[in-house]
């Protein structure tokens, strides 16, 4: 009898294990919709990503939740808009905030991260690469559901002198193991760095370990080679017809191939959902050192399509049929809801979740009607519903910044749209049809029936959205040089602690 019960339990659990797929999210940094061959880049330098798309499902209508890295990443991991999860600022109207090393805030304890929920369900979680949800000790990944980490809390900006500004630390799990430009080189002259190689090895060794242990895993692979200063390892330098940015893309493409190959060789490919996307649009401000947003208007930092639409591919051999394209409107927050659905975990019911599960889109091509909200800081700038996108506010950046050469829409000017003062179109939104006009150049005539119909449908959505909206406590208002990376966890062991200045909090300045 006992033996029989034991056997039944065993078979129940082994079937259960089998039915819970591994989740692998590949999140690129500042990579644009137009950077992949499959999305039309003329250089055709992404053979592995193009192959991944042909073996899976391409999402041409996939979005971030904010056109900047930290809020986008916080949204992905919480399934919630930055205005709800606290990754925004109220220091000024409609400003993008993020987590530089002066930031005091970070991901709130009240938020439930995908990593935390999957950990409870028995998943082993690893983050490789950039975190960007706050760097004070309480905000780091191992405090929020991840079991393993190799990478950094912040962008790889620098080099710094460690006197006025410390170099950014690189972490293994919950301790620093060195710093960028000291122990982890990025040559600012040549663009050479071995970091993508390291990030790839960390991913493949984790997959091998988990496949061996037959324990489901969540791997959040977030390399940052396409974020300024862009870098590639020696064998990729000077290979792309696009220059150094293209070299970085080629190396990431190669790495994606290595990781997918590892899923095959370890026998877990058909039990792993891989989703490839990016955190925000390409940084056009970097000109030829930045990526491409294809036909879309402007780039990173803006709520035009170029700032928010992302390359996206879902891959799951045996479950997602090859060669598909889905025009489902998707967002990074859907990765939260989809992963929970696949893991058989109920999403939290005590809060609003902005993601939807894409499971039946993956499996049956199901389409769900849902809006996309375009936020910049504390302001709802625009809403997409179907093909219609209504802008309530239009702004690129200020004249002052433009005069300093900071241009988020280089070579592009749409009167009253790519504006250098904040335009309030709340009473009469500017509406574009993204099917006929993906580049947001030709506004619908407000007198037309088409405009009236689109406007009333979208206003209905906005009303409901605002009724349901409880903003989280803003995390990106306060800065302090004392919280910079003077003495990160682990620095004592390395005898590499620096002395912080005394605390002197100030309101962070977010110019755009
Ligand atoms: C960067 O590379 C150049 C050319 O190889 C070399 O001369 C220079 O020393 C390198 N810089 C650093 C900081 O390693
Ligand atoms: C990258 O690794 C190679 C091989 O170990 C080494 O020769 C090279 O100096 C490294 N490059 C950097 C920038 O660290
Ligand atoms: C995955 O592939 C392996 C080996 O080809 C096979 O034994 C297994 O049944 C497949 N699993 C699923 C979920 O399709
Ligand atoms: C924008 O315009 C609307 C409608 O005129 C007005 O109610 C609102 O206060 C304005 N918002 C700001 C921040 O000026």
Count of structural domains within the chain: 2
pLDDT at res. 65? 98
Q: What is the pLDDT of residue 13?
A: 44
Pairing of strands 313-315, 57-58: antiparallel
Same-domain pairing of 365 and 384: no
Find the ligand nearest to 190 CA.
1
Give yes or no: residues 343 and 432 share one domain: no
Residue 392: give its domain's CATH number: 3.30.1120.10
Q: What is the pLDDT of residue 10?
A: 42
| Ligand 1, pocket residues at CB < 6 Å | 187, 189-190
Residue 10, domain member (yes or no): no
Specify the length of the chain in residues. Answer: 512
* CATH code where residue 168 lies: 3.40.720.10
In the chain, which residues have pLDDT < 50? 1-17
State whether 390 and 330 are in the same domain. Answer: no
Task: Say if residue 387 is in the same domain as residue 277.
Answer: no
Ligand 2 centre and the CA of 196: distance in Å?
12
435 within domain boundaries: yes
Choose which residue among 191, 194, 229, 251 to substitute to test ligand 2 binding: the one with the highest number of ligand atoms within 8 A of its C-beta: 194
Q: Is 506 exposed, middle or buried (0-12, 13-18, 19+ CB in 10 A)?
A: exposed
| pLDDT at residue 8, rounded to an integer | 42
Please check whether residues 298 and 352 belong to one and the same domain.
yes
Residue 132 known to be catalytic: yes
Q: Which atom of ligand 2 is nearest to the CA of 187?
A: 13
On whether both 435 and 300 belong to a single domain, the answer is no
* Pairwise CA distance, residues 408 & 165, whole Å: 27
Separation CA 154–CA 132 (nearest Å): 5
| 173/267 same-domain check | yes
Is 269 domain-assigned? yes
Query: Is residue 194 within 6 Å of ligand 2 at its C-beta?
Result: yes
Does residue 421 fall inside a structural domain?
A: yes
Considering the domain boundaries, does residue 501 fall inside one? no
**Confidence at residue 156, expressed as pLDDT on a 0 to 100 scale:** 98
Peptide bond into 388 cis (omega under 30): no
> Which residue's CA is the closest to the ligand 3 atom numbered 9?
270
Based on the domain organization, do 347 and 408 belong to the same domain? no
Closest among 196, 184, 182 to 230, alpha carbons compared: 196
Pairing of strands 124-130, 217-222: parallel
Residue 480 falls inside a structural domain: no
Is 298 catalytic? The answer is no
Indicate whether 413 and 347 sit together in one domain: no
- pLDDT (tens digit, 9 = 90+) per residue, 97-151? 999 999 999 999 999 999 999 999 999 999 999 999 999 999 999 999 999 999 9
The answer as to whether 404 is a domain residue is yes
> What's the pLDDT at 282?
98
| Residue 4, pLDDT score | 42
H or E segment at 340?
helix 333-343
Tell whether 131 and 70 lie within a shared domain.
yes
pLDDT value of position 18: 54
State the pLDDT at residue 19: 75
Range of the domain at 426: 379-467
What is the number of other CB atoms lying within 10 angstroms of the CB of residue 260?
22
| pTM (two decimals) | 0.96
Q: Which ligand is nearest to the CA of 189?
A: 1
Residues 392 and 338 in one domain: no
């Amino acid at each position: 009898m006992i033996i029989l019960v034991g056997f039944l339990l065993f078979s129940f659990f082994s079937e259960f294990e089998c039915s819970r797929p591994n989740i692998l999210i590949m999140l690129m940094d500042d990579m644009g919709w137009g950077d992949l061959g499959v999305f039309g880049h003329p250089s055709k330098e992404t053979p592995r990503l193009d192959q991944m798309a042909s073996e899976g499902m391409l999402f041409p209508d996939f979005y971030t939740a904010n056109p900047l890295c930290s809020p986008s990443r916080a949204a992905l991991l919480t399934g919630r808009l930055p205005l709800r999860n606290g990754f925004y600022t109220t220091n000024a109207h409609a400003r993008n905030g993020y987590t530089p090393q002066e930031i005091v805030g970070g991901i709130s304890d009240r938020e439930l991260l995908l990593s935390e929920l999957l950990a409870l369900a028995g998943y082993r979680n690893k983050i490789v690469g950039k975190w960007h949800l706050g760097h004070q000790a309480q905000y780091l990944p191992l405090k929020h559901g991840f079991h393993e980490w190799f990478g950094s809390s912040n962008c790889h900006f620098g080099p710094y002198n460690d006197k006025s500004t410390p170099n950014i630390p690189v972490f293994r799990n919950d301790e620093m193991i060195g710093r960028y430009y000291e122990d982890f080189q990025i040559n600012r002259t040549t663009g050479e760095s071995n970091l993508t190689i390291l990030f790839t090895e960390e991913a493949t060794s984790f997959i091998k370990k988990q496949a061996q242990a037959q324990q489901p895993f969540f791997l959040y692979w977030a390399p940052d080679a396409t974020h300024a200063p862009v870098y590639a390892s020696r064998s990729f330098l000077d290979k792309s017809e696009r220059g150094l940015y293209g070299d970085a893309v080629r190396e990431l493409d190669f790495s994606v191939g290595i990781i997918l190959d590892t899923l095959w060789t370890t026998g877990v490919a058909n039990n792993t959902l891989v989703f490839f996307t990016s955190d925000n649009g390409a940084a056009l401000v970097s000109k030829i050192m930045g990526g491409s947003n294809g036909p879309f208007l402007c780039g990173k930092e803006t709520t035009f399509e170029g700032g928010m639409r992302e390359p996206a591919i879902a891959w799951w051999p045996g479950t997602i049929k090859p060669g598909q394209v889905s025009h489902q409107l998707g967002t990074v927050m859907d990765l939260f809801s989809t992963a929970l659905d696949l893991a058989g975990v109920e999403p939290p019911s005590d809060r609003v979740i902005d993601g939807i599960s894409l499971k039946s889109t993956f499996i049956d091509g199901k389409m769900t009607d849902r809006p996309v909200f375009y936020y910049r800081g504390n302001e709802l700038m625009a809403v997409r519903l179907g093909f219609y996108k209504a802008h309530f506010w239009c702004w690129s950046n200020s004249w002052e910044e433009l005069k300093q050469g900071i241009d988020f829409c280089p070579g592009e000017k749409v009167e009253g749209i790519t504006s250098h003062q904040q335009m309030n179109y709340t009473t009469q939104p500017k509406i574009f049809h993204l099917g006929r006009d993906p580049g947001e150049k030709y506004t619908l005539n407000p007198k037309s029936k088409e405009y009236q119909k689109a406007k009333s449908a979208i206003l209905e959505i906005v009303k409901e959205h605002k009724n349901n909206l409880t903003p989280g406590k803003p995390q990106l208002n306060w800065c302090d040089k004392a919280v910079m990376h003077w003495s990160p966890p682990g620095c004592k062991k390395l005898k590499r602690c620096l002395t912080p200045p005394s605390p002197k909090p100030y309101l962070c300045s977010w110019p755009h």
